[in-house]
Amino acid sequence: MTSMKKLLVVAAIAVGITACADKDETPPELQESAVPTVGASSSTPAPTDEFGEMMNEGAQAQIQQRPEEAAQLAADFASITGEQVTVVAAQQMSNIVCLDMENAQGPGALGAVSAAMATETGVSAEMMTRVAERAVAYRCPELATK
């Protein structure tokens, strides 16, 4: 599993989400959040992840509001991680980082959030700090001094 995808999966689980943007050969603008499905021969409808769907819809709406900046965010994350990052995945990661920043207590929130996410994902603290700094600058700059 690639480190950016692992970041999203673990971060998503940390906030109670079971779906995240899936990295595959599908063009970024066509990718959706991965939702569990049932085999084609089953008559049982596929289960849905309402929170994951809400997160995906929110990310899509935010991307539409700032498409150029969202594309740059994905490019920046790709530069940091060395991997292809979809615009949806970058937006969702920024949303997760900012949610964690809002919930962090006391000064040094960025360091605490970065360290916790690095530990959870197995990604280097340096890489996670760079991802978190970029996410905050893009999505919640008012929390940068927290």
Q: Take residue 125 and report the two structure tokens written for it.
A: 């603290």
Res 64 pLDDT > 60: yes
Return the closest-CA partner of residue 19 out of 56, 46, 45, 61: 56
Least confident of 42-51, 76-85, 120-129: 42-51
Q: Cα separation of 119 and 35, whole Å?
A: 26
Out of 34-38, 75-79, 81-85, pick the least confident. 34-38
Asked if 36 and 49 count as a contact pair (C-beta separation under 8 A), the reply is yes
Question: Interior CA angle at 69 toward 85 and 82, to 5°?
Answer: 25
Integer Cα distance of 116 and 97 in angstroms: 11
Q: Which two tokens stand for residue 116?
A: 């916790």
Distance CA 78, CA 93 (A): 12
Tell me the CA distances in angstroms from 123 to 51, 56, 84, 103, one per residue in order: 25, 24, 16, 22
pLDDT tens figures, 98-110: 999 999 988 899 9
Which two structure tokens, joined as six digits, stand for 15?
A: 């906030």
Instruction: Please tell me the pTM assigned to this model.
Output: 0.69
pLDDT exceeds 60 at position 145:
yes
- What whole-number percentage of the chain has pLDDT above 70? 67
SS3 107: coil
- Could you report the per-residue pLDDT of 19-49, keeping only the tens digit for each? 333 334 334 443 443 333 333 444 445 556 8
